[in-house]
Amino acid sequence: MAITKGGLTMPLNTTEKQFESDIAAALLSPAGGYTRNGDCYDPKLGLFVDTLIRFVQKTQPNEWAFFEKQNPVNPVRKFCTAFNNACDADGLLSVLRYGFKHRGRRFRVCYFQPESALNQKDAQRYAQNEITCNRQWFYSDTTHNSVDMVLAVNGIPVFAFELKNQFTGQTVENAKQQWMHDRDPREVCFQFNKRILGYFCVDLTEVWMATRLAGKDTRFLPFNQGSNGAGRDGGAGNPPNPSGYLTAYLWEEVFQKDSMMDILQKFMSLQDGKTLIFPRYHQLDVVRKLVADVRQKGAGQHYLIQHSAGSGKSNSIAWTAYRLASLFNTENKPVFASVIVVTDRTVLDAQLQETISGFDHTLGAVEAIGEDKNSGDLRDAINNGARIIITTLQKFPVIYTEVNKTAGKNYAVIIDEAHSSQTGTSALKLKAALADTEDALREYAELEGKAEDEIDPEDALVKELTSHGRHKNLSF
């Protein structure tokens, strides 16, 4: 039996506790990937201490033995202190990604899923994480307040949820008020980038979130799909869900264990040292769909991403560039030799560099070929295989004949403001510089019914053809 209220049709049991129970059941299922944490939470340290220590002992026995030898008296408490000091200095997001050093030894507090399926060692490490979901999290030793739900990585609380139910007269607006006025930002677990990285308000129809608690100044943003779903024109809110809650995408998709860890590793970013960025739903959706399509089809496809003003285009470009640059094929080789971002906005240079440098140190620095550099610097960056290059279109006509052989090399080209910078002579020279000429010559020879060695690659017509149309080694 079901009841209807305000256009909502839900099962008869519509209490907030049932809503909470349904979410927890999904997350704690095999598909959700979480387990319940049975360890005690220490509000002074802001940790499920036993969980964190167990993870370190299990995954890094030599490092733990070294730490115990250096700290024979109360090593557990001292390790937690070292961890907290690292979070104070570098922020939790950085510590999750790279660990922290203590007396010359690096300690990891979690492991992420490797990009390449051939990396068995990292896959085994990832499986050793203890990713947990707990209801009614009593987070303080000075109050008896509890948060409806908390997700933790190896004992470290990372995301928290206040759940509301329209059938009992409360909505996300009540959850916002609760976060703003009933949760003290001075608590260890609520201090910026020290523990909780995202504060979510969830009811039967909408989701809102914030990354910093600041009392009445807390800024919440919508985390909804749009009334017709992501990527489709429509209004605010979420589309109908014939099989459950309108907000079920949050726990069935976004916070499924692997997805949540992927967001921590490859999406969240710290900008200007003071703003934590969590992807909006449309950004998460489009980047993941694009990467999945490239992984399946390889290079040579063209994509168009439409972003409205103020919807986070620069971050979407940064996330896309990073994901494509770190994408590997089945032979454990990078899909693209370089990812080239073509833009006229100098502000994007700094933002891209800051965002990407926070993700993966192994990719190296972003090569920004700005006004202070010349076309020769662009040529060298391409020839040297820089993983991510930012440049203007106008630099290609000067060096398009000087790029080393591109046979067998794939390139991803991300064009900012496609309407203004992907047509004209400069765009043709970009294609001419990066196109796999040998592959283009083979196609031309087949069309002309000639042997490949009869075709002169310096012929003006051949050169013209290689700068037009699609190329199997170029993704735009």
Q: Which single residue is written with the structure tokens 């299990």? A: 58
* Token duo for residue 346: 């100098």
Whole-number Å distance between alpha carbons of 199 and 44: 20
Token readout for 279 is: 């992807």
Cβ contact 352:358 at 8 Å: no
Quote the tokens at residue 286: 């489009």
> Which residues on neighbouring strands pair with residue 156, listed in sequence order?
153
Report pLDDT digits (tens) over 192-212.
999 999 999 999 999 999 999
- How is 176-220 classified by DSSP, letter by letter? HHHHHHSS-TTSGGGSTTTS--EEEEE-SS-EEEES--BTBT---
Which is more confident, 92 or 403? 92
Q: How far apart are CA 13 and CA 406, in angstroms?
A: 63
Percent of the chain with pLDDT over 70: 78
Note the residue count of the chain.
Answer: 476
C-alpha 430/C-alpha 428 separation (Å) is 5
Q: Mean pLDDT throughout 260-274? A: 92
**Residue 86 pLDDT:** 98
d(C-alpha 157, C-alpha 180), whole Å:
19
CB 127 within 8 A of CB 114: no
What pLDDT does residue 26 have?
A: 97
pLDDT at 410 over 70: yes
> Cα separations (Å) of 284 from 11, 237, 428?
30, 17, 32
Matching residue, tokens 């024979």: 72
Say which residue the tokens 């080393």 belong to.
404
Asked whether the beta carbons of 66 and 285 are under 8 A apart, the reply is no
Q: Tell how far CA 475 is from the center of its chain.
A: 21
Cβ atoms 300, 475 nearer than 8 A: yes
Give the tens place of pLDDT for each residue, 331-384: 778 888 889 888 876 666 677 777 776 776 666 667 887 777 877 888 888 888
Higher-scoring residue by pLDDT: 33, 118 = 33
pLDDT of residue 316: 87
pLDDT band with cut points at 50, 70 and 90 for residue 231: confident
Q: How far apart are the first and last CA of the chain?
A: 51
Q: What are phi and psi of 328, to 5 degrees?
A: -115, 150
Q: Pairing mode, if any, of strands 131-138 and 146-153? A: antiparallel
- Cα angle 80, 84, 85 (rounded to 5 degrees) comes to 115
Integer CA distances (angstroms), 276 to 257, 273, 398, in order: 21, 8, 40
Q: What letter represents residue 61's amino acid?
A: P
- Determine the pLDDT at residue 349: 64
Cα–Cα distance, 209 to 426 (Å, whole number): 43
pTM for the predicted model, two decimal places = 0.85
According to DSSP, residue 394 is labeled G
DSSP 237-278: S----TTS-TTTHIIIIITSHHHHHHHHHHT-EEETTTEEE-
CA-derived radius of gyration, the chain: 25
Angle (CA) 54 256 325, round 5°: 90
191 pLDDT more than 60: yes
pLDDT at residue 449, as a whole number: 45
What 8-state DSSP symbol labels residue 139? -
Say which residues have a Cβ less than 8 Å from residue 127's Cβ, sequence separation at least 6: none
Whether the per-residue pLDDT at 27 is higher than 60: the answer is: yes
Burial 26-44 (b: 16+ CB within 10 A, else e): bbbeeebbbeebebebbee
Tracing tokens 């299922």 back to the chain, one arrives at 29
pLDDT at position 392, please? 77
Q: Which residues pair with 338 in a beta bridge?
A: 411
What's the average model confidence in pLDDT over 377-392?
A: 84
Specify the pLDDT at position 309.
60
Instruction: Name residues whose C-beta falls within 8 Å of residue 403's C-beta, 6 or more positions apart in sequence.
Output: 379, 382, 383, 433, 434
Query: Could you give the domains of the chain?
Result: 12-102+104-276 (no CATH), 279-475 (3.40.50.300)
Which tens digit of pLDDT belongs to each residue from 31-87?
A: 999 999 999 999 999 999 999 999 999 999 999 999 999 999 999 999 999 999 999
**Taking a C-beta distance cutoff of 8 angstroms, is the pair 277, 271 a contact?**
yes
pLDDT band at 298 (very low <50, low <70, confident <90, very high): confident
Helices (H), 99-143: 120-127
Residue 47 is classified by DSSP as: B
* Orientation of helix 61-70 relative to helix 49-59, angle to 10°: 120
* Amino acid residing at 376: G
